[in-house]
Structure 1
Amino acid sequence: MKLKFLILTLFITVLGFSQNKGTITGTVTDKDVNNQSLPFANVTLKGTKIGVNTDIDGKYSISVVPGNYVIQFSFVGYEMIEVPVTVKANETVTINKSIGSGSYKLEDVVVKASAPNRQKETALLLEQKNAVEIKQSIGAQELARKGVSDVATAVTKTTGITKQEGSGNIFVRGLGDRYNSTTMNGMPIPSNDPEKKNINLDIFSTDILEYVSIDKVYSSRLYGDFAGGNVDIISKDYKGKGFLKIDIGSKVNSNAVGNDNFSLQNGINSFGFSTSSIPTNALSNYNYNSLNLDTKNPIASTVGISGGKLFNVGSESKLNLFSTVNFGSDFTSRNDGTAKGAVNGSGVVNKNFEKYTLDSYNTNFTAMLNVGFKINNANKVSFNSVFINTSSLSKEEYTGFIVDIANDGNGLIRRNKYEKNTLWINQLLGDHKVSERSNFNWGVSLNSIDGDMPDRNQNIFRKEAAGYQLSTISAPDNHRYFQNLQETEAAANLAFDYKFDKTGEGEYNGKFTLGYNGRMKKRDFEATQFNFKTAASAAATIVDPNNLDSFYNQTNLSNGVFQIATFRGNDQVSNALDPQTYNGEQFINGGFLNTEYNFGKLTGVLGLRGEYVFQNINWNTQLDPSGGYDELEKIAFLPSLTLKYELNEKQNLRFGFSKTYTLPQFKERALFVYEDVTEVKVGNPDLYASDDYNFDLKWEMFPNADELISVTGFGKYIMNPINEVTIASSTNDISFINTGDFGYVAGAELEYRKTIFNRDDNNKLSAGINASYLYSTQELSTEKVIKETDYNVVFTDDKSKFTGASDLLLNTDISYFKSWNNNESTLTSTLAYTYFSDRVYAIGTNDRGNLVDKAFGSLDFITKIKWNKKIGIDFVVKNILDPKINRVQENASGDINVLSYKKGLNVGLNLNFQF
């Protein structure tokens, strides 16, 4: 009876005690990101074990007994704020708090099941510190600070990565396009260039991303076609208050605005959506677009709108939406240029242009929709759709000596080119917590790319005393070229995680991950070139290069002044309009098993991946009018090992080893020829895959939340490496060849980020530098090439660097940050410098030296002012030093400069309004 009375008394006491509690509630926001709600922040009562994490909306609630407390607000990579509070019985106290980055040390941070804002530099650094994998990330905050507007430039701000001048192609640790891969949210995306494996990263605006992750160390979760690195674009996953933002801006290129004769082909839509197909009766009727030029006012503009909102659906579910639509244009111009082509081993130049210019107008339209649906705390699905349309309208002119055409240096080659690419990415992703021990995530994607060159036209002139005459030496001298690429790819990722070996603290030491990746790609490519051959009787006709419509018209075609024919023949040949084609299919199916285990200070991941690769290509081209077919099949077993050893709370030592392969691409194996003005590229059906062995050793230290020191040593051994090689031909053709039995790359990387001073987090000066040194060499075997291919190659040297490999890469920047008006007004100014040393463009043969892109550096200045919560101004000046860009062909008697020009300064001003 006494026991029952005691239990009843305790129950009543507890009940009465709980009824007399008070509540502390509120919302935590991120003052560094426009005071958006901050999910998963830590809210604790100082000196107690009472604490919670904020929910997806940044809200929290704590029930406590009446009394005086100090409430602490903290988050990964942010300062901790303490606020005194008095709690009374049966009352609710509301405390809303905004927190941001601080200067405290990483070891002071208490991490509690947090999901950091990966746009922030500090959060990404902490994620890098805690991750077992060896990778680098760069977030939206750092990209904005450095004035970066596209993904290609973004990745070059990380260690050991450069971008090929004039394109969005990147080199990772000296290894070019074929050695790298590109994904979005872990799913593969197609290429927009028939010559390239990877999509041009220039077309991705940083407006659509949360951060970019670069894996330079292989993990079995990735496809095995890996040696340089994988660039993963993580799209924005918006969480926070609803917002609407409008951006408008303008920019100019100093060369373009200083060019009084900036003109481009007439009749092309300025929004970049123009399409043009081969006209009807193209051989017998003249229905082509105008060749006349239209003078442009080279002042570019940008406009964009973006918005996001989170909705509560029931008691547990959340729906978050983010969308952005942007259109930008850009005028560029190369001046002070020279070019040379068809240089032989004795240094004789068959094309010597004392003047080279390139004017271009480029557009980028981007639209993205992200929809995330959190069903409950255990299940989330999301849908990402990205539509990108880019265009480039350019005019290249070469003036000078052309052997047998303009021997007096009185030649002129003009090439107008219009390119249009339309990419559509669709992804459906899911993440499901099956139990305390297990998790299942998946993804499916369907992507398509249309890569059009609706009308590339070229004319060669010879200037005589009376004026210009069209060349009649060869039919292709004057031509119009139409090209279309269509590629679709479906892909799927599946991964199941299972934790094991539970500790007394409720954590797990080990984890198994079983997964599958599959992708199916199909490419259809066709091209037709119409050659305009001037009749001998009209060879002396004087033409105006700026008014070619007066010569190329229906009247002159009907009168026999010129004829139109393809490589198959004129309108009397039944199949003359059949295009050159190549079609490719590729299937990759891979499965993997990862075992991760924490031995205390040492954590290791052992992975094994198996892949089956099948690639087939068929073609019908001018090199093989009867058509051909080729297959490539590969079964690969790819082990990998990653180790992380925690030297102390601030320092890690990491090790990575893996085996991978490098797969040749469709265009590299198709027997198709692409003719540029100064070079010709042709495919090699005998090309086959390389095998790669990769090694990394890295030490890193994190002195403070926003500071890093790291040193990395790496090596790669590549069997049967693939290179671009100048083959024996009259026009210096370049092809793709397994050039030897082996090659290797070794190098070191250094990264240092330092806060120079930080006063109350309102007045901050910081600096960063990353540098890499690279040594590469490979065997060059003439006998191997002759034995394995149909091409005649005699290497000038028996060893060479890898194409694209620079000995030294350098990125450095210094930034000043100032805030006032309770952080509603801010100023950020950054000075950034990038440098790369000489790198091989193509390997020389037949006594010709290597083609080498010479070293240069680039300096940019960026200032961003946020006047208040709603209005901001950005001012950017890029390429301040405006160095000369040079490509040389090495020669025993001295280097021959085959390409030289200046890009000019780019100055931009942007206004943004947020509601």
Structure 2
Amino acid sequence: LLDLKYRFNKKNEIKALSLFVNKVKDEVYEVGRNREGFVFEEVNNEDQYSQFVRDQNTKQTRLWVNQLLGDHEIGEKNHLTWGLGYNKLNADEPNRIRNEVNIKKPTNTEGELVELGFQGGFQQRKTSQILEDLEYNARLKDEFTVFENDSTSTLKLSLGGNYRNKTRDFTSEFFGVTENGAGVTPPSIDNLDAVFTAENFNNDLLDLRLVRTDDDGNIRPDKYDAELNSSAGFLNVNYSFSKFNLNIGARYQKDMIDLNYDVANAPGGEDGSVEKSYDNFYPALNIKYALNEKHNFRLAASKTITLPEFKEIAPFEYVSATGQITRGNVGLEASNVYNLDLKWEFFPTNKELISATAFYKSIKDPINRVLDRGSAGVFSFFNSGEEATIYGIELDANIGLIASDEENGINIDWGINFSRMWHNQDLKTEFNEDGTLARTFKYNKKNEIGLQGASDYIVNSSLNFSTNWEREFNANISGNYASDKIFALGSAPDSQTQENSVLYNNEIIEEGFVTLNATLSQELSERLLLRFKAQNILNPDIKRTQDVLPLSGGAQSESNQTTRSYTRGAIFTLGINYNF
């Protein structure tokens, strides 16, 4: 970290910031070690066999952020600020290895036998994934005071612009290993390396399996490159008079997304390109009314845009360690969002705040994660409805329970944030030019559903304790709860199926859970600080469930099944800070 500031005089200064973060994370996912793993269709007798899966992955993320900022007061009425930025991100998975083997359970006459999985030819596989993002950005803002009268009114004008250019280069190499006939049996699930040897490849006991090859027979990788160009200009007018503050603004923004890809299994063909352009005005209105020194009322209205991310557009299929496949959608479009907020603020003291907000949002062409058609279990992103609406209330409070000015006193304050949302969106049906059904997002006789990723209830709370001792002690405990939310929308099985068909994939629900964190710090000297941090103390089960309808049998009724259940783990850290 490098953080510099140079002040020319009282009215002009420049700041420079450079931050580099290098994070390496090793992940090992296993299932079936207890000999109770599920069995693929390649094994006929499930009573005698179980399956073991190991996915080993190293992730390295390198982030370099650079900013140059300027702040200048020109005369008595002009305030100019500007910024330049250059950011670089490398997010690589250079050596991911996945093995799937079948374990024959021991009997009275023979011991345990480990066999390489062979269904599809890629159950033993290795991938190497490289991602590089580069971003240049700039901003300029000039605020001019037209007039300023402390007792009556103030008028200020602000104008400026923003520019952002972001590029991505992505490459993924993928190959598998297949067994040529029987006879390659690892000694155990903890010694699979014993069979992946040069000798077994040279003797044709094992064979390399490539998804695609170039003209020379080498691996032809999946790859895409993308670019975002965004430029904007804005004008704001801020007028204060009596107890009112009125801010009116407009922003013109042009966004262009270009993406080229060469990806195996991409819908519509391996090679392709995508061009998207959005050119809009985004107005904003903010009104503040100060009833007195302790009470404010605010009204805000605006229009914004949500652009699709590169990974939501690129048709590359990323397979998680648990087997979940996520693929981008080249037909995905941006969402326009209309916002309206009404807020009341109350300041019991200059350090306390209590507020209540009522809000409303209308989202045109909302973006949702959808469980795509077919049996492959692919998740993708779609504008699955024409409009989504969200309205709700938010309550916020930061209250001092104990405040002591004494030398040996203590301070305790409590903060809480509560949100209640009601949300809904339609599910649309798309038709071809000849009137035939192209695709429907309606399923299970549902024409509408809640918004993917939105919880009905969200609660955040924190309790802070501090001392006025010579060696200060601080303690903080914070918790969060978000109720059930839709992880992914369901779907009809294929484009030719009527929307009210009895065959469908239901939505997947992520059940609500509580997280709890704590931080303790104690000054040991003027320069030495001891800090203890505990994250995700409760380590709750994170569970996703789905109502499943059996395909055969007697009377059909849905049953709730768990599609995934996991914990993130609790993290405890102890550190010492020394200030030079």
TM over 0.5: yes
Residues 497-576 of structure 1 aligned to structure 2 (within 5 Å): 497-503=143-149, 509-538=154-183, 541-569=185-213, 574-576=216-218
Are positions 1:402 and 2:67 aligned together?
no
The question of whether the paired residues in 1 share the 8 Å contact of 2:81 and 2:142 is answered with: yes
Give distance in 1, aligned partners of 2:150 and 2:127: 71
Residues 201-350 of structure 1 aligned to structure 2 (within 5 Å): none
State the match for 2:83 in structure 1: 443
The question of whether the paired residues in 2 share the 8 Å contact of 1:405 and 1:411 is answered with: no
TM-aligned CA deviation for residue 890 of structure 1:
3.0
TM-aligned CA deviation for residue 909 of structure 1:
2.5
Cα 1:551/1:791, change in 2 over 3 Å: farther
Give the match's secondary structure for 2:559. Answer: coil
Q: Report the structure number with the largest CA radius of gyration.
A: 1
Give the partner amino acid of 1:777. N
The question of whether the paired residues in 2 share the 8 Å contact of 1:744 and 1:778 is answered with: yes
Give the partner amino acid of 1:574. D
Give distance in 2, aligned partners of 1:698 and 1:789: 45
State the match for 1:693 in structure 2: 338
Q: How many pairs align?
A: 541
Are positions 1:729 and 2:366 aligned together?
no
Per-residue displacement from partner, 1:326-368 (whole Å, max 9, x unpaired)?
A: xxxxxxxxxxxxxxxxxxxxxxxxxxxxxxxxxxxxxxxxxx1
Cα 1:793/1:558, change in 2 over 3 Å: farther
User: TM-score normalized by structure 2?
Assistant: 0.89
Per-residue displacement from partner, 1:154-195 (whole Å, max 9, x unpaired)?
A: xxxxxxxxxxxxxxxxxxxxxxxxxxxxxxxxxxxxxxxxxx
Cα 1:768/1:388, change in 2 over 3 Å: same
TM-aligned CA deviation for residue 785 of structure 1:
10
Are positions 1:482 and 2:128 aligned together?
yes
* 2:261 counterpart (616, 619, 643): 619
State the match for 2:552 in structure 1: none
Give the partner amino acid of 2:72. H
**Structure 1 unaligned residues grouped into runs of 5+:** 1-367
Q: Which runs of 4+ in 1 moved over 6 A?
A: 784-792
Are positions 1:680 and 2:325 aligned together?
yes
The question of whether the paired residues in 2 share the 8 Å contact of 1:469 and 1:543 is answered with: no
State the match for 1:813 in structure 2: 462
Give the match's secondary structure for 2:182. Answer: helix
Give distance in 1, aligned partners of 2:516 and 2:309: 35
Give the match's secondary structure for 1:401. Answer: coil
Cα 1:880/1:611, change in 2 over 3 Å: closer
Give distance in 2, aligned partners of 1:791 and 1:530: 33
State the match for 2:419 in structure 1: 772
* 2:4 counterpart (371, 376, 381): 371
Give distance in 2, aligned partners of 1:815 and 1:602: 35
Per-residue displacement from partner, 1:578-637 (whole Å, max 9, x unpaired)?
A: 211111111111111001110221101111111111111111111246511121111111
The question of whether the paired residues in 1 share the 8 Å contact of 2:430 and 2:438 is answered with: no
TM-aligned CA deviation for residue 504 of structure 1:
6.9
* 2:471 counterpart (825, 838, 844): 825
Give distance in 1, aligned partners of 2:535 and 2:222: 41
Give distance in 1, aligned partners of 2:133 and 2:573: 35
State the match for 1:432 in structure 2: 72
Are positions 1:651 and 2:329 aligned together?
no
State the match for 2:275 in structure 1: 631
Give distance in 2, aligned partners of 1:479 and 1:793: 34
Give the match's secondary structure for 1:755. Answer: strand
The question of whether the paired residues in 2 share the 8 Å contact of 1:727 and 1:793 is answered with: no
TM-aligned CA deviation for residue 792 of structure 1:
7.0
Cα 1:531/1:791, change in 2 over 3 Å: farther
State the match for 2:61 in structure 1: 421
Are positions 1:385 and 2:50 aligned together?
no
Are positions 1:843 and 2:489 aligned together?
yes
State the match for 1:609 in structure 2: 251
* 1:859 counterpart (488, 502, 516): 516
TM-aligned CA deviation for residue 380 of structure 1:
0.7
More helix by share: 1
State the match for 1:799 in structure 2: 448
**Structure 2 unaligned residues grouped into runs of 5+:** 107-111, 493-503, 549-556
The question of whether the paired residues in 2 share the 8 Å contact of 1:401 and 1:410 is answered with: yes
Give the partner amino acid of 1:615. I
Give the partner amino acid of 2:133. E
The question of whether the paired residues in 2 share the 8 Å contact of 1:728 and 1:791 is answered with: no
TM-aligned CA deviation for residue 706 of structure 1:
2.0
Per-residue displacement from partner, 1:847-898 (whole Å, max 9, x unpaired)?
A: 2221111111123333222233233322333433333221111346232111
The question of whether the paired residues in 2 share the 8 Å contact of 1:415 and 1:457 is answered with: yes
Report which structure shows greater RCO (CA 8 Å, sep ≥6).
Answer: 1
Give the match's secondary structure for 1:389. Answer: strand
Give the partner amino acid of 1:478. Q
Give the partner amino acid of 1:863. L
Give distance in 1, aligned partners of 2:323 and 2:438: 23
Give distance in 1, aligned partners of 2:512 and 2:374: 29
The question of whether the paired residues in 1 share the 8 Å contact of 2:122 and 2:209 is answered with: no
Cα 1:690/1:759, change in 2 over 3 Å: closer
Give the match's secondary structure for 2:403. Answer: strand
The question of whether the paired residues in 2 share the 8 Å contact of 1:378 and 1:432 is answered with: yes
RMSD in angstroms over aligned alpha carbons? 2.3
Give the match's secondary structure for 2:312. Answer: helix
Per-residue displacement from partner, 1:168-226 (whole Å, max 9, x unpaired)?
A: xxxxxxxxxxxxxxxxxxxxxxxxxxxxxxxxxxxxxxxxxxxxxxxxxxxxxxxxxxx
The question of whether the paired residues in 2 share the 8 Å contact of 1:811 and 1:833 is answered with: yes
The question of whether the paired residues in 2 share the 8 Å contact of 1:739 and 1:784 is answered with: no
Cα 1:776/1:793, change in 2 over 3 Å: closer
More strand by share: 2
Are positions 1:595 and 2:260 aligned together?
no
Q: Quick check: 863-872 or 442-451, which moved more? A: 863-872
Give distance in 1, aligned partners of 2:67 and 2:431: 44
Give the match's secondary structure for 1:557. Answer: helix
State the match for 2:118 in structure 1: 472
TM-aligned CA deviation for residue 901 of structure 1:
2.9
Cα 1:810/1:510, change in 2 over 3 Å: same
Per-residue displacement from partner, 1:244-272 (whole Å, max 9, x unpaired)?
A: xxxxxxxxxxxxxxxxxxxxxxxxxxxxx
The question of whether the paired residues in 2 share the 8 Å contact of 1:728 and 1:793 is answered with: no
Give distance in 2, aligned partners of 1:662 and 1:879: 31
Are positions 1:889 and 2:529 aligned together?
no
